[in-house]
Amino acid sequence: MIGTMLTGRLRKTLLTSLSATLMLASALGTAHAQTTSNTTLLVDIDHRPATSLDGDWHTIVDPYSTGLFNFHHEVKPDGYFMNAKQQPNGGPIEYNFAISPTLKVPGDWNTQRSDLFYYEGVLWYEKDFKYSPKPNTRTFIHFGAANYRSYVWVNTKKVCQHEGGFTPFDCDVTGVVKDGDNFVVVAVDNTRLADGVPTLQTDWWNYGGLTRDVSLVDVPEQFIDDYDLHLSRTNHDLIEGYVHVENAAHGETVTVSIPELNATARATVGTGDRAAISLPVKSVSLWSPENPKLYKVNIDADSESSSDKLEDDMGFRTIETRGTQILLNGKPIFLRGVAIHAEAPYRTGRAYSEKDVDTLLGWAKDLGCNYVRLAHYPHDQRMTRATDRLGILVWSEIPDYWALQFDNPAVLAKSKQQLGEMIRRDRDKASIILWSVANETPVTDARNKYLTTMANLARTLDPTRLVTAALLVRTQKTAAGSHKVVDDPLGQALDVLGTNEYIGWYEQKPAGADTTTWDIRYQKPVIMSEFGAAARAGHHGPATERWTEEYQADVYKHQIPMFNRIPQLRGTSAWVLMDFRSPMRTLPSLQDNFNRKGLVSDQGDKKQAFYVLQKAYKDKAVGKPD
Ligand code: GCU
pLDDT for position 12: 47
pLDDT for position 81: 97
pLDDT for position 250: 79
Alpha-carbon distance 22 to 33, whole Å? Answer: 15
pLDDT for position 478: 87
Residue 224 has pLDDT above 50, yes or no: yes
205 touches ligand 1 (CB under 6 Å): no
Nearest-10 crossing angle of helices 608-618, 549-563: 20
pLDDT for position 15: 44
507-563 per-position pLDDT tens digit: 999 999 999 999 999 999 999 999 999 999 999 999 999 999 999 999 999 999 999
Query: Across-strand partners of 258?
Result: 263
Give the residue from 161, 453, 138, 114 showing the smallest Cα distance to 305: 138
Query: Across-strand partners of 150?
Result: 162, 188
75 touches ligand 1 (CB under 6 Å): no
Residue with CA nearest ligand 1 atom 4: 203
Residue 31 has pLDDT above 80, yes or no: no
Q: How confident is the model at residue 7 (pLDDT cuts 50, 70, 90)?
A: very low
451-488 per-position pLDDT tens digit: 999 999 999 999 999 999 999 999 999 888 899 999 99
Distance between Cα 172 and ligand 1 center (Å): 38
Measured from the CA of 202, which atom of ligand 1 is nearest? 9
Identify whether 198 is preceded by a cis peptide bond (ω within 30 of 0).
Answer: yes
Q: What is the dihedral of CA 164, 165, 168, 171, to 10 degrees?
A: 70
Alpha-carbon distance 47 to 512, whole Å? Answer: 51
Q: Give the other-Cβ count within 10 Å of 240's Cβ.
A: 18
Mean pLDDT confidence for 568-589:
98
Query: Do residues 574 and 339 touch, judged by C-beta distance below 8 A?
Result: yes
439 touches ligand 1 (CB under 6 Å): yes
pLDDT for position 1: 45
Distance between Cα 106 and ligand 1 center (Å): 27
**Identity of the amino acid at 558:** H
Q: How confident is the model at residue 39 (pLDDT cuts 50, 70, 90)?
A: low
Alpha-carbon distance 510 to 502, whole Å? Answer: 9
**Identity of the amino acid at 544:** T
154-208 per-position pLDDT tens digit: 999 999 999 999 999 999 999 999 999 999 999 999 999 999 999 999 999 999 9
**Identity of the amino acid at 543:** A
Residue 615 has pLDDT above 50, yes or no: yes
Residue with CA nearest ligand 1 atom 2: 1
Distance between Cα 375 and ligand 1 center (Å): 10
Mean pLDDT confidence for 19-29:
49
Residue 318 has pLDDT above 70, yes or no: yes
Q: Tell me the helix, strand and coil percentages in the chain, rounded to 5.
A: 20, 35, 45
| High-pLDDT (> 70) share of the chain, % | 94
Task: Give the pTM.
Answer: 0.94
Alpha-carbon distance 556 to 391, whole Å? Answer: 25
Query: Across-strand partners of 224?
Result: 245
85-130 per-position pLDDT tens digit: 999 999 999 999 999 999 999 999 999 999 999 999 999 999 999 9
Alpha-carbon distance 536 to 595, whole Å? Answer: 10
pLDDT for position 69: 87
230 touches ligand 1 (CB under 6 Å): no
Which of 501, 547, 575 to mutate for ligand 1's pocket (most ligand atoms within 8 Å of CB)?
575
**H-helix or E-strand spanning residue 102:** strand 102-105
Residue 25 has pLDDT above 70, yes or no: no
pLDDT for position 314: 98
Give the residue from 516, 478, 511, 481 showing the smallest Cα distance to 499: 516
Phi and psi at residue 470, to the nearest 5°: -90, 115
Mean pLDDT confidence for 63-86:
92
Mean pLDDT confidence for 64-89:
92
